[in-house]
Chain A
Amino acid sequence: MNIKEFINQLPRNIFSGFVVSLIALPLGLGLAMASEAPPIAGIITAVVSGIVVSVLGGSHVTITGPGNGLVGVLLIAFTTLGFQAAYAAIICSGVLLILLGFLRMGKLSDFFPSSAIQGMLAAIGLIILGKQFHIMLGNRLELDSSLDYLIAIPQTVIGAFHYENIQLTHAALAGVVALLIMIFYGKIRNKYLQLFPAPMWIVVISIATSYFYELVLKEDHPIASDYMIPEIPSGAEIISTIPTPDFGLMNSWPFWSSVIALTLIASIESLLSIKAVDQLDPQKRRSNVNRDLKALGVATIGSGFLGGLNVVTVIARSSVNVNNGGTNRSSNFAHALFLVSFVWLFSSQLTRIPLPALMAILVYTGYKLASPKLIKKIITVGKEQLLIFFVTLLTTLFIDLITGITAGLLITFIIHVFVNKSALLFLRNIGKPNVLMYKESSDNYYLSIKHFCTFLNYYKLKIQLDMIPENQDVILDLSLCQFVDHTVLENLNGYQSIFHKRGGHFEIIGLDMHGADSAHPFALRRLIPGLPFINSNLTKRQKTLKEVAIELQMIYEAEKSRNSDFLQSFKYFQFKKIERVYNRIFNHNKLFKIFDIHYSEGELITKADVKTTMLHIKLDNDIPQFTLDREGFLERIYGLAGFKKIYFKNYPDFSRRFFLLGKKSEEIQDFFSTPLIRFLESNPYYHIESDGNSLLIFRQDRTLGIKEVKGLIDFGKRLHQVLQKPV
């Protein structure tokens, strides 16, 4: 990037860094306290990461800092390992993150089924919510497991109405007000209200209330002091009280289990965030994920040595950054500097924030991760996804995170085996390079996937997809795939939207024959041989075909059509058996119809199946029978029917490029007028066949993508016009 541009954009990056720091401040304090670390640890994390990652990182508009996904793991680390050993664990996970970066494991997050990841995040959300809910209502509890905290929630709610200590009631009140602010902030559209993000409003109101009591009412603060943020150390104190990490536990299993869990969550949360933020980037840049992982690792090590927590890329703060005009990493840097100045200038004011208010912010984020809406969404995808989700969620809650995600992986695989009634499909083919990509002669990329495509081998597909510039046309053919799972379809949908945003085109074909159990577009799909073709779940291609039909004021029908007799008069189908005609788009009198067709050549053992898209136009007047082909493939077959090649002396180039075959050469020569020949020469090539009063137009041996369907319709319409003009 050139320096001038950088300086030009600096002011808006500094501004957006400022807005982000307003959220980062309360969140940093809250997340640190939720993890049982000193509140300042969250700020240290954000500052160190902002400085390190903005210098070393490979992404553009991401913001880094303490993440909510890590709260659960950090909590366990701090409570079971003790302070100094927990910092050692954080540093070790930083080293592992760097290692992951060097091993190019930026694809790590692709190995997890998306429902399992959602289940894991929901469990983390519940852990945060369960723990902080009690503090929010002024009831500090010490319980064994995160599940106990959740079970105790009703008790706390009832208890909140019966506090004997009025200070606790005030604390609960502060918590409830803060929670209401979080909930209703997004629903109220007001210019002045939107000036600050919601968490900052909570901070500002808390501090203002505190000053109101002190200066106006001259009273003590109404909330008990142990429900206020403990003292924030000054800059000098922070440096003098840096904890010394204790690596003494390094050969114990709990230590490494914490390190692995920290690394796993930190990398998954970061990678998912980077992927999501890349979609938000208005400049459509691609992040260097592995480089970002290395930078996050370095930042985590630094943060661990300075008394901070694990560093991750965070989605919420990053999207605020984009919304406020952040364009490069300098906004992350600015956010760190603003945090330093806040703590430096206002450290005494920060202690005026009641803990319940701060925890309300976390309760809200926790709820967001595990909201019932999410479960509803998963149900629509399919019941099996719900099973994966709950197995992961419950295992995470009852045992721990690593076991949880492992259970999620296993149950997903078991479900896939069960759905397909075959483990062999997966075991036999998992090692095979099942993705083939090449550039077709028309310059679009064509990908074909064989056997199966699930979370197990999605990374192979991803490697190929990442090699395609997003402004290109891509056709992804899944027709050789027996099974495609939800994770893959969801990820492909992400690719579709990226390609769409960046001027490219990404189409999935070959799924129309696969069966699905639910109506959701990402429901897993299985190719079921011999099952009736009744399918209420339209694929994305089918839905778009429907839209195209409506756009062109035509009718769309996905179901198989009984009537394929109109094709029998074409020589092309002389030796072919039409299996089914489906996905039809036609105009009102059915004179112009486009359809997918599945036909087979030969019988029994020599049978070859072909699926393609064709256009059929019924003409008003009779025309000679002919066939126009570029390759001359069909010469022999038509030879049987008495067809011969027809030359045009006046159009040597046309005659060289096209094979025109027919019986009545004179009639055909008359029919091929100059405008028609010019039209055919100057347009993309299609195979055209006439049976005497209608035309059959098609091109390839495969089903066409939407863009190609539109091209075919357009070609057909214009050809029709040329033919209708009086010669």
Chain B
Amino acid sequence: MIEHSFNNIAIGIAFSPKLQANLYEAARLAQSFNATLSMIHVGEESVEKREKITNYLAEFSKKNLKYSIVFKTGNLVEVMMQYLKTYQIDLLVLGALQKEHFFNYSLGSISRKIARLAPCSVLLLIKPSVERVVCQHIVVNGLKSENTPMTILYAFYMANKLNSKRITIVEEINKSTLSIKVKDDATLRKANLQREKLRRKENARVDKILEEIPEDYKSKVKVDKQPIFGKRGYSIGHYAQISRADLLVMNAPEKTNFWNRLFPNDIEYILKELPTDVLIIK
């Protein structure tokens, strides 16, 4: 079986009003995974700042949370990347901003850049909370991609660590695979048959991936499959939002080049419009 666990969790810290909530979320995660937590602050070190963090984490260190606080100066993005690489961090936690609109969350441009460039998995939190909120429903993508089995495996790993009850695997089927265009009754029938066929094919593919998941992961969660036709990377966010998922687990984009950024695809949509907490597996 593929190696899958988070042992070194990092969180970037800005001294914002959300600091406590962000810290609590990261600390709880580190505890669930039995991982060490590194907190990075890009800025001047001061006793005051260090104390503030230590105070917040006092409760967790009683329960044996291993953590370290790092202060660095320089370019935020560069420093972060450097740190993530040298210390072999495997999960980076980032907090999102709430937009002026009432149900939109998005990442700041710097966070977005970090999320894109990070060599490790990234967890984006839209609603960090001091109190623990149970993660009940995880939505994971079932894209036709070589990274998908790994992503789904991680989703099950998360479900088990966080005691989630339900996983929905969403197969986004690109509309362009529907070769038949609906013109009249006859083509409508044909198109729907084709959709049904694609749906079955996708389900079969996902079933194969599910076979590889260890039994003890599967026994405690209810697994659903939901094929949807739509824009890759966008529709799954929309689905996560309406199905009120607590966590969305996604593949990292296969390649990020100049063109991908011009025409936002896959992960870019999600980064701009976070439907819920998002975990990007790399």
Q: Which residues of A contact B (CB under 8 A)?
A: 58, 104, 285-291, 425, 432-438, 441, 448, 450, 466-467, 469, 477, 480, 482, 529, 602, 605-606, 608, 610, 631-633, 636, 701-702
Contact = CB atoms under 8 A, between A and B. Distances in A.
B109 to A, nearest CB: 15
Nearest to B192: A469
B244 A290 contact: no
B133 interface: yes
Interface of B: 18, 21, 101-103, 127-129, 131, 133-134, 136, 163, 165-166, 181-185, 187-189, 191-192, 195, 222, 224, 226-231, 234-235, 238-239, 241-244, 269, 273
B188 A469 contact: yes
B48 to A, nearest CB: 25
Contact of A605 (B21, B136, B191): B21
A448 B242 contact: yes
Looking at A58, A290, A432, the one whose CB has the most chain B CB atoms below 10 A away is A432
Contacts of A448: 238, 242
Nearest to B220: A632
A436 B235 contact: yes
B165 A433 contact: no
Contacts of A477: 242
Given A286-B185, A436-B228, A631 B165 contact: yes
B242 to A, nearest CB: 5
Contact of A438 (B102, B163, B229, B241): B229
Contacts of B235: 433, 436
10 contacts: A285-B184, A288-B187, A291-B183, A433-B230, A436-B235, A466-B182, A467-B188, A469-B189, A602-B131, A606-B129
- The main secondary structure of chain A at its interface with chain B is loop
Given A433-B230, A438-B228, A438-B229, A288 B184 contact: yes
B228 A606 contact: no
B192 A437 contact: no
B234 A432 contact: yes
Nearest to A605: B127
Nearest to B226: A438
Contacts of A469: 188-189, 192
Contacts of A435: 230
B222 A631 contact: yes
A437 B229 contact: yes
Closest 5 CB pairs of A and B: A433-B231, A606-B129, A436-B238, A288-B184, A438-B228
Contact of A633 (B103, B165, B229, B269): B165
A286 B21 contact: no
B203 to A, nearest CB: 12
Contacts of A701: 243-244
A606 B132 CA distance: 10
A432 B230 CA distance: 11
A532 to B, nearest CB: 17
Contact of A602 (B133, B191, B192, B234): B133
A573 B141 CA distance: 32
Nearest to A527: B102
A249 to B, nearest CB: 36
B134 A636 contact: yes
Given A433-B230, A433-B231, A438-B239, A631 B166 contact: yes
A104 B231 CA distance: 20
Contact of A529 (B102, B189, B239): B102
Contacts of B228: 436-438
Contacts of B239: 436, 438
A480 B188 CA distance: 29
A448 B136 CA distance: 22
B260 to A, nearest CB: 16
A58 B187 CA distance: 12
Contact of B184 (A286, A434, A437, A438): A286
B269 to A, nearest CB: 8
A480 B184 contact: no
Contacts of A434: 238
Nearest to A106: B183
A205 to B, nearest CB: 43
A702 B136 CA distance: 17
Nearest to A290: B183
A608 B165 contact: no
A699 to B, nearest CB: 14
Contacts of B227: 438
A294 B189 CA distance: 23
Given A606-B127, A606-B131, A606-B133, A58 B230 contact: no
Given A469-B188, A631-B165, A480 B128 contact: no
Contacts of A291: 183
B185 A285 contact: yes
B244 A608 contact: yes
Contacts of B134: 636
B102 A467 contact: no
B242 A480 contact: yes
A433 to B, nearest CB: 4
B21 to A, nearest CB: 7
A292 B191 CA distance: 20
Contacts of B244: 608, 610, 701
A645 to B, nearest CB: 14
A467 B129 CA distance: 42
Contacts of B183: 58, 288-291
A291 B186 CA distance: 14
B2 to A, nearest CB: 29
B191 to A, nearest CB: 7
A291 B182 CA distance: 12
Nearest to A632: B165
Given A58-B184, A290-B183, A433-B230, A602 B129 contact: yes
A633 B136 contact: yes
Nearest to B170: A438
A23 B247 CA distance: 65
Contact of B188 (A286, A529, A610, A631): A286
Contacts of B18: 605
Given A438-B228, A631-B222, A632-B165, A450 B238 contact: yes
Contacts of A289: 183
A285 B102 CA distance: 43
Contacts of B163: 636
A58 B185 CA distance: 11
A468 B185 CA distance: 11
Nearest to B269: A432
Given A287-B184, A608-B244, 19 more contacts: A286-B185, A288-B183, A288-B184, A288-B187, A432-B269, A432-B273, A436-B228, A436-B238, A437-B228, A437-B230, A441-B224, A467-B182, A467-B188, A529-B102, A602-B133, A605-B18, A631-B165, A633-B166, A636-B163
Contact of B191 (A290, A425, A467, A606): A467
Contacts of B103: 480
A288 B182 CA distance: 9
Contacts of B243: 701
A333 B272 CA distance: 56
Contacts of A633: 136, 165-166
Contacts of A602: 129, 131, 133
A605 B188 contact: no
A273 B198 CA distance: 35
A84 B93 CA distance: 73
Contacts of A631: 165-166, 222
A285 B187 CA distance: 12
B101 to A, nearest CB: 8
Nearest to B183: A288
A467 B224 CA distance: 24
Nearest to A604: B129
A425 B165 CA distance: 36
Contacts of A606: 127, 129, 131, 133
A436 B230 CA distance: 7
